[in-house]
A and B are shown apart, each in its own frame.
Chain A
Amino acid sequence: MAQRYGLVIDLDRCTGCCTCVVACQMEHSLDHVSGIRVETVGGQGRDTPGGNHPLLSMYYLPIPCMHCREARCIEACPLEAIYRRSDGIVAIDDARCNGCEACIEACPYGALVYLPERDRIWKCNLCAHRVDAGLDPFCVLCCEMEAMFFGDVDDPTSRVAELARQKKASVLKPELGTHPAVLYFGGTSADTTFAPSTSSTST
């Protein structure tokens, strides 16, 4: 089986601190955009719970690029600037990209952003330069709650695959058949606006 790097994220540990958001900006010299965002699942808006005081619930959902096996962005790019590496990481070739934003339209996870100053598209590449050097993505290193785990999600013997199996991890929008390599577990809420499905991946 081919390698497929991804993340397993523990939503019971994530406190919405956004250290991952800033870590991504630092590692990739980004301003005003990041390769990962954190949504609040609960009420309307950041840090807003669902329910009525004091019976409330809220959790956080960090959303990077899902590194889908069936990546809509790759299909949508007219210039073939988006490609999958042999380790499963979905990356953008800056030399080919012209910032047309077709991929932004196509991605069901809102994972790609336009960089006006470079006239290019940016998204999480799992810190491919660090992965190539044997390091974890920078957001994983910095995660203050130790809620993010990096590894080969398709290798049944890997730590992340084991964790995903044990915790019955699920993916976002499984009905789309995109087969994300970012899996989540934990996080329960009475009022969910964007809840992970309970069905598990077919990896």
Chain B
Amino acid sequence: MIDTGTRQVRTVCNVGCGMSCGLLAHVRDGVLTKVEPADFPDPKYRHLCARALASVKLVYHPDRLRHPLKRVGERGDGNWQRISWEEALDTIASRLKDIKERHGPRSLTWETAGVGMLDVAYARFAGCLEATAVSLIGFGDAAGPCGDRASFGVLWGEGYQTDFDEPGMCVLWGNNPAETQPFGMRKVRDARERGARVVAIDPRFTPTAAKADEYISIRPGTDTALALGLLNVVMDRGLVDAPFVEQHTVGPFLVNLATGRFLKESDATANGSPGKFLVWDTATGAACAYDSAVARPALSGAYEVNGIDCKPAFEMLVESAKDYTPGKVADITGVPPDTIARLALDYATRRPVASFRGMGLQRTFHGDLTFRAISTLAAATGNIKAAGPQTPVLNTRAFLRAGGRCNFIPVLKVYDAIARGDPYPIKALWVAKHNMLNQLPDTRRIMRDLLPNLEFIVVADYFMNASAQYADIVLPACTFYEQNNLLVPPGGSPGVHNYLQMQNKAIAPVPECKPELQVLKELAERMGFGEYFQQSEEEFIDLLISWDHPSVAGATAAKLKEGPFQTQPYETPDFMTPSGRMEFYCEKLIDLGQQLPCYIEPVEGAGRPVTRKYPLTFLNTHTRFRTHSVYTNVHWLRDLDPEPVLEINPVDADPRSIVDGDLVRVFNDRGVMKLRAKVHQGIRPGAVNTAQGWWPQHYIEGSHQDLTHAYVNPAQQAIYEPNAALYDVAVEVEKVPEA
């Protein structure tokens, strides 16, 4: 029978894949009974995945934390005492005050992986104390934003990718949306049915690759070389979209060969402007400041201006790309030369081409260069939209800076802050819905150098996960069904929706679990700044959206409760870079020699000394059965993917006498992981993979994060923030006897 006594609440999946799928929650007698995909004003955005359905099982999970706990005995021993919220918050307030007194306010640090706007309330709270908030994007997703900030001036440049209305080609580059962001896969499939060619470039034959017209297997971490090799062919064959390069990129701007910097009008004439870029006007045979009146600025050649040797930036790009011949690129990447030539032609002739630059590309040490190289290829072939993304702009400043300003620290810099007091000591850490001991690289370093230096650890989460096990106080957190929140449109994939959505509370908090804003309010009152946390969730949402930016004109929390809000178009520069153009040439990186995109071997890639001992590249990709470390304990999904396995190609398994199902030990100088082997052809020889998100207890020994590292890339630090190179990891594998 169809149930007629059920209340339906439209909410949003907020577990962290970033797609912001609308969910219709069914509630009967206060109990969440099921979810289904929710309607959108534009029905094509109606969508959910198996994980969204499984999210219902998080709410009433038998292992869910339902009351605050305090540690008794040593950290990690697993001895806990149930305490009241009063005692928990009193303890936290007094410990934080004490640590602040002794180590200064910045030694108190908050981090949360929540993707709703109200999750930023932790930074508001930290701001009231002038304490620290962690930017978590660098635990795998910051290299792309570094690259895009250099190229486009925005963190997520997906909006610059070509639309699919008349698709020519979709290139899924280190991207597996069939598993990670299925809505993106639906768009790719729709584009293919409208005539687009689909190409997947990946070291693994993924469910996405299985749906492509062409699968190109590539050695992990070498995609930059492939992109530059394609660029070289495009240039060599005269297939560059010169008008686009001239009008929308820094291509015509002259570069001072002595300094590497762009020549400005002030370099050439005494009264010239330091803000105007110089180009070489081929019509007059002289340099002049660029404006639209310059009929034919040179893209090639070498010139002398006021005694300064210079070349157009595009000439420098052409020269640097010449190194990347198909033969050389084939040697680096393992992609055959004829495939390189053909794909280059496709990029130039099957326009519009949409490049889906996946998270996989980011998780190699120089992932920012990969994003820059692909964007440069796309720009040179006219496959970039010269129009700023219509991202809604919220009043985050008012929300964040209530009682003061917090200091944001990149997550990879937290390691040195805790271990060595660099740039300043962090002594108290509050981790909210971020299973850091599962998701951050180099677990053994965290255990050895970080945890002993933390005087106080609070974890707010749903389960006693790896991170909660090492806390001093554990708080039972609410799921997204139990609190209101604001979700901004997804940004990490081309062609997604542009709606603001209300995550409407569907059910009351499960007894003793507390919504984070309530926790922060009660704590703020104890710490003397309660006045900044008296607002309701709806009032905070109004603070964020009811302001004078045209992108959210007319949006209110009350309106969002009725349904998704289509953000409004607004005037924005084409590119948010210093020059206002797409910048394949980045002045900020001259000192590092990375002003032009260039290929640098992965930090643990072929030829590096470490690979003599550890010849295999370890990936830890994302699967359809988990979002990060969430759902690992939900049996609906666990039944489908019961245990971690190491994917290894027979080419690598045979000489190690490993057969399918064998127990294997995966190791390097950082750590060890023991699990069963899955020997199959879907993974490229030389690479091995374990889908991430498994908890330490699911391995026979160790975990995937025992193998990874937290190396900091200075170029990424110079542009935005350093990223964890989680797939740039050298390992060896050996068969071990059954226990």
A-side residues, CB < 8 A to B, are 12-13, 15-19, 21-23, 25-27, 31-32, 42-54, 56-60, 129-130, 132-133, 135, 138, 141-142, 144-146
Q: Name the A residues within 8 Å of B640 (CB-CB).
A: 18, 21, 46
Q: Name the B residues within 8 Å of A22 (CB-CB).
A: 50, 53-54, 636-637
* Contact status A53-B682, CB under 8 Å: yes
* Contact status B680-A49, CB under 8 Å: yes
Q: Name the A residues within 8 Å of B183 (CB-CB).
A: 144
Complex Cα distance, B640 from A25, in Å, reads 12
* Contact status B2-A133, CB under 8 Å: yes
Kindly identify, within residues 172 to 214 of chain B, every residue whose CB is under 8 Å from any CB belonging to chain A.
178-179, 182-183, 185-186, 189, 205, 207-211
Q: Which 10 pairs between the two chains have the least Cβ-Cβ distance?
A: A54-B217, A15-B178, A19-B50, A133-B2, A22-B50, A58-B210, A144-B182, A48-B680, A56-B205, A22-B53
* Contact status B56-A145, CB under 8 Å: no
Write the chain A residue with the least CB distance to B2. A133
A-B contact sample (15 more), CB < 8 A, given A15-B185, A53-B684: A17-B182, A18-B625, A18-B640, A22-B54, A26-B34, A26-B53, A46-B640, A52-B681, A53-B683, A53-B685, A56-B682, A60-B207, A141-B37, A142-B36, A145-B186
* Contact status A13-B189, CB under 8 Å: yes
Q: Name the A residues within 8 Å of B637 (CB-CB).
A: 22
* Contact status A15-B208, CB under 8 Å: yes
Complex Cα distance, B211 from A150, in Å, reads 23
Q: Name the A residues within 8 Å of B185 (CB-CB).
A: 15, 144-145
Q: Name the B residues within 8 Å of A32 (CB-CB).
A: 635, 639
Q: Name the B residues within 8 Å of A133 (CB-CB).
A: 2
Kindly identify, within residues 44 to 66 of chain B, every residue whose CB is under 8 Å from any CB belonging to chain A.
47-50, 53-54, 56
Contact among A48, A56, A60, A144 for B48, CB-based, below 8 A:
A144
- A/B interface sample: 13 pairs, CB < 8 A: A15-B208, A26-B56, A44-B680, A48-B678, A49-B682, A53-B205, A53-B651, A53-B682, A54-B205, A60-B207, A129-B2, A138-B36, A141-B37
Least CB distance from A144 to B in Å reads 4
Q: Name the A residues within 8 Å of B207 (CB-CB).
A: 15-17, 47, 58, 60
* Contact status A31-B179, CB under 8 Å: no
Query: Does B660 sit within 8 A of A, measured CB to CB?
Result: yes
Complex Cα distance, B178 from A59, in Å, reads 12
Kindly identify, within residues 677 to 699 of chain B, every residue whose CB is under 8 Å from any CB belonging to chain A.
678, 680-685
Write the chain B residue with the least CB distance to A20. B50
Query: Does B71 sit within 8 A of A, measured CB to CB?
Result: no
* Secondary structure class of chain A's binding surface, majority of residues: loop
Write the chain B residue with the least CB distance to A54. B217
* Contact status B210-A59, CB under 8 Å: yes
Write the chain A residue with the least CB distance to B36. A141
Q: Name the A residues within 8 Å of B54 (CB-CB).
A: 22
Least CB distance from A187 to B in Å reads 10
* Contact status A45-B678, CB under 8 Å: yes
* Contact status B678-A54, CB under 8 Å: no
Write the chain A residue with the least CB distance to B623. A47
* Contact status A19-B48, CB under 8 Å: yes
Complex Cα distance, B56 from A22, in Å, reads 11
* Contact status B210-A144, CB under 8 Å: no
Contact among B1, B34, B210, B215 for A54, CB-based, below 8 A:
B215
Least CB distance from B155 to A in Å reads 27
Complex Cα distance, B98 from A66, in Å, reads 67
* Contact status A18-B50, CB under 8 Å: yes
Complex Cα distance, B682 from A135, in Å, reads 39
* Contact status A45-B208, CB under 8 Å: no
Query: Does B216 sit within 8 A of A, measured CB to CB?
Result: yes
Complex Cα distance, B624 from A144, in Å, reads 12
Write the chain B residue with the least CB distance to A19. B50
Query: Does B649 sit within 8 A of A, measured CB to CB?
Result: yes
Write the chain A residue with the least CB distance to B684. A53
Least CB distance from A33 to B in Å reads 9
Given A15-B211, A27-B34, A43-B680, answer yes or no on A21-B50 (Cβ-Cβ < 8 Å).
yes
Given A17-B624, A54-B205, A129-B1, answer yes or no on A31-B635 (Cβ-Cβ < 8 Å).
yes
Q: Name the B residues within 8 Å of A144 (CB-CB).
A: 47-50, 182-183, 185-186
* Contact status B36-A56, CB under 8 Å: no
Least CB distance from A143 to B in Å reads 10
Mark B14-52 against chain A: 1 for CB-CB distance below 8 A, else 0: 000000000000000000001111000000000111100
Complex Cα distance, B185 from A15, in Å, reads 9
Least CB distance from B397 to A in Å reads 37
Contact among B49, B216, B684, B685 for A19, CB-based, below 8 A:
B49
Given A31-B635, A52-B681, answer yes or no on A142-B48 (Cβ-Cβ < 8 Å).
yes
Write the chain A residue with the least CB distance to B641. A46
Contact among A26, A46, A130, A145 for B182, CB-based, below 8 A:
A145
Complex Cα distance, B685 from A60, in Å, reads 24
Least CB distance from B213 to A in Å reads 11
Complex Cα distance, B204 from A47, in Å, reads 11
* Contact status B49-A48, CB under 8 Å: no
Complex Cα distance, B36 from A135, in Å, reads 13
Q: Name the A residues within 8 Å of B179 (CB-CB).
A: 15, 17
Complex Cα distance, B50 from A19, in Å, reads 4
Write the chain A residue with the least CB distance to B651. A53
Least CB distance from A186 to B in Å reads 10
Least CB distance from B616 to A in Å reads 15
Given A21-B640, A58-B210, A142-B37, answer yes or no on A53-B649 (Cβ-Cβ < 8 Å).
yes
Least CB distance from B680 to A in Å reads 5
Write the chain A residue with the least CB distance to B178. A15
Kindly identify, within residues 632 to 676 of chain B, every residue whose CB is under 8 Å from any CB belonging to chain A.
635-637, 639-640, 649, 651, 660
Complex Cα distance, B198 from A66, in Å, reads 32
Complex Cα distance, B604 from A120, in Å, reads 55
Q: Name the A residues within 8 Å of B639 (CB-CB).
A: 32
* Contact status B216-A54, CB under 8 Å: yes
Write the chain B residue with the least CB distance to A13. B189
Given A17-B49, A19-B50, answer yes or no on A48-B682 (Cβ-Cβ < 8 Å).
yes
Write the chain B residue with the least CB distance to A27. B34
Q: Name the B residues within 8 Å of A60 (CB-CB).
A: 207
Write the chain A residue with the least CB distance to B649. A53
